């Protein structure tokens, strides 16, 4: 994937000006200060935002997006939330078991870390050609983070992760893009 | 818990008795049954009324008429709202129309409706007209306030239009629809009765109120008013209970 001369602004606030990147590897980590544009870049790659100038070639067609917020539908349970994006119930049940989540719980009954895990399971279950993960390990302890990293790596897809924990990038073995 | 309920009932009964006493004292002071009949005369008249077929026929017809208008108002309110939220042209056409309906006095509409349709349909039309803007307003506002982040999530996961509608928009607007249904019951009832008073269909509680006034049967006027109040209270309770159950089920 190639980002060429990309510019993007929210109104008057310029986020990127003439940004060019070559992403010919498989695993990338986005780092940088808060507000620097990590989420915006993920959304631009994922096609949720359109650049003001420049272009992204060979961008993922159907990326699995894990947002900074969990964005689970509060009116249906965890299992239903995930099954809305996948028919692969076997994979869903396996991931729920692995990450120790009760699929019958409602999103309002989940702790912060549990909700992150559910959002990650949803992203992993989606038939996407890439993983775009925004702060996926928030609220998780080291053991759970390691488990999630293992699952992400197992997918073997083009992945971009934005995470503020520096040790995570080492564990992922990803190339770092510092914004 | 139980003593709380007993306390509440005792308080209600005592308040009722207090106001009955005030009413009785006022009636004694006025001393003219034509202007203010005493509570006993009114209850006696009410007792006589309930033994007549006319009473039950008028009551039942009024209830059916107003409920029909109320339900039609909800259905049309939903339909108008869906059109408003889906098509910009429909929004441009419907929004001013609803604003006009809201601003127009009920009496003006009743008189106009009398010119446009048979008097039997005026109460139904008025109930409909009171409910429609509330349902439309609540749903349209709730739709416009649907969480953008959930919509973006739906887009990111390629939700179909149907999935977006069923899983994001419908649950987002349901609380607004529920609130509209619950608050408009009383309004539909009162405006329906007011329309009956002015249009005087053959069998209607409002017509009976009007005839009581015409024939100077003040006790009968009070008795019919009591029935209107009791039914308003009961219908509101029943509908609110029904909607609580229905919406709880839908939300599941």
Q: Give the percent of chain B with pLDDT over 90.
A: 53
Give the domain CATH number at A96.
3.40.50.300
Residue among B153, B158, B251 whose CB faces A67 most closely? B153
pLDDT of the residue at B212: 87
In this complex, the residue of B153, B158, B251 whose CB is nearest that of residue A71 is B153
Instruction: Tell whether A15 is covered by a domain.
Output: no
At residue B252, the pLDDT reads 63
Q: Do A65 and B171 touch (CB under 8 A)?
A: no
End-to-end CA distance of chain A: 17
Alpha carbon of B177: minimum distance to chain A alpha carbons (Å): 16
Question: Could you tell me if A67 lies within 8 Å of chain B, comparing CB atoms?
Answer: yes
**Mean pLDDT to the nearest integer, A40-68:** 91
The alpha-carbon gap from B252 to the nearest alpha carbon of chain A, in Å, equals 7
Q: What letter would DSSP give residue B167?
A: I
Q: Is residue A67 domain-resident?
A: yes
Q: How far is CA A90 from the centre of its chain?
A: 22
| Chain B nearest-CA residue for A77 | B252
Domain count within chain A: 1
Please say if the pLDDT value at position A95 is more than 80.
yes
Task: Mutation target for A interface from B156, B173, B251: give the one with most A CBs within 10 A.
Answer: B156
In a domain, A6, yes or no: no
pLDDT of A32 reads 85
Residue A19 lies in a domain: no
ipTM entry: 0.90
Say if residues A8 and A51 touch (Cβ distance below 8 Å). Answer: yes
Chain A residue with CA closest to B155: the answer is A48
Q: Are strands A63-66 and A158-162 parallel, antiparallel or unpaired?
A: unpaired
Whether residue A34 lies inside any domain: the answer is: yes
Note the pLDDT of residue B1: 60
Q: What is the pLDDT of residues A25-36, one digit of tens each?
A: 889 998 888 888
Residue A127 pLDDT > 70: yes
Q: How far apart are CA B195 and CA B114, in angstroms?
A: 9
Q: What is the pLDDT of residues B4-29, one digit of tens each?
A: 888 889 999 999 999 999 999 999 99
What's the Cα-to-Cα distance from B235 to each of A58, B64, B163, B227, rounded to whole Å?
63, 11, 36, 12
Do A73 and B251 count as a contact with CB atoms less than 8 A apart? Answer: no
State residue B232's pLDDT score.
87
Given a cut of 90, whether residue B248 has pLDDT beyond it is no
Is 90 exceeded by the pLDDT of residue A21? no
Q: Work out the mean pLDDT of chain B and round it to a whole number.
A: 90
Q: How many CB pairs (< 8 A) connect A and B?
A: 33
Tens-place pLDDT, residues B181-192:
888 988 999 999
B156 closest CB neighbour out of A48, A69, A73: A48
Within a domain: A111: yes
Which residues does chain A have within 8 Å of residue B159's beta carbon, measured at their own beta carbons? Answer: 84
Distance CA(A171)–CA(A146), nearest Å, equals 8
Q: pLDDT at residue A146 above 70?
A: yes
Q: Which pLDDT score is estimated for B139?
A: 95
- Please check whether residue A159 lies inside any domain of the structure: yes
Test A69 with B155 for CB contact under 8 angstroms.
Answer: no
Query: Which domain range does residue A150 map to?
Result: 26-49+60-178
The pLDDT tens digits of the residues spanning B117-171 come to 888 899 999 999 999 999 999 999 999 999 999 999 999 999 999 999 999 999 9
pLDDT given for residue B251 in this prediction: 63
In a domain, A123, yes or no: yes
């Amino acid at each position: 994937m190639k980002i060429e001369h990309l510019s993007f602004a929210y109104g008057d606030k310029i986020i990127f000006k003439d940004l060019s990147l070559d992403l010919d590897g498989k695993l990338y980590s986005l780092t940088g200060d808060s507000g620097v544009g990590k989420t915006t870049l993920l959304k631009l790659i994922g096609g949720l935002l359109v650049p003001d100038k420049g272009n992204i070639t060979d961008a993922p067609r159907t990326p699995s997006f894990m947002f900074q917020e969990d964005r689970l539908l509060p009116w249906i349970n965890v299992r239903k939330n995930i099954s809305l994006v996948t028919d692969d119930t076997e994979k869903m049940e396996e991931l729920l078991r692995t990450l120790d989540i009760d699929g019958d719980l409602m999103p309002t009954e989940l702790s912060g870390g549990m909700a992150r895990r559910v959002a990650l399971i949803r992203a992993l279950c989606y038939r996407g050609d890439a993983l775009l993960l925004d702060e996926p390990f928030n609220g998780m302890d080291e053991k759970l983070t390691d488990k999630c990293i293992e699952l992400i790596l197992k997918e073997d897809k083009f992945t971009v992760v934005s995470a503020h924990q520096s040790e995570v990038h080492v564990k992922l073995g990803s190339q770092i893009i510092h914004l | 818990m139980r003593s709380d309920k007993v306390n509440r009932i005792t308080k209600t009964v005592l308040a009722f008795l207090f106001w009955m006493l005030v009413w009785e004292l006022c009636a004694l002071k006025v001393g003219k049954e034509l202007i203010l009949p005493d509570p006993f005369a009114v209850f006696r008249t009410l007792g006589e009324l309930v033994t007549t077929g006319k009473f039950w026929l008028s009551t039942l017809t009024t209830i059916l008429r107003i409920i029909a208008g109320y339900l039609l108002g909800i259905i049309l309110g939903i339909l108008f709202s869906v059109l408003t939220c889906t098509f910009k042209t429909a929004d441009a056409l419907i929004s001013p129309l609803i604003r006009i309906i809201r601003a127009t006095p009920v009496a003006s509409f009743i008189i106009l409706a009398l010119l446009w349709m048979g008097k039997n349909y005026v109460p139904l039309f008025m109930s409909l007209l009171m409910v429609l803007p509330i349902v439309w307003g609540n749903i349209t506002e709730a739709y416009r306030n649907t969480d953008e982040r959930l919509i973006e999530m739906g887009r990111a996961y390629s939700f179909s239009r149907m999935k977006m509608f069923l899983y994001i928009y419908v649950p987002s607007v349901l609380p607004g629809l529920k609130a509209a249904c619950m608050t408009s019951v009383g309004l539909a009832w009162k405006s329906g009765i007011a329309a009956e008073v002015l249009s005087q269909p053959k069998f209607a509680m409002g017509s009976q109120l009007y005839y009581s006034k015409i024939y100077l049967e003040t006790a009968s006027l009070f008795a019919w008013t009591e029935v209107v109040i009791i039914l308003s209270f009961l219908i509101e309770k029943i509908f609110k209970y029904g909607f609580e159950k229905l919406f709880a089920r839908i939300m599941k």
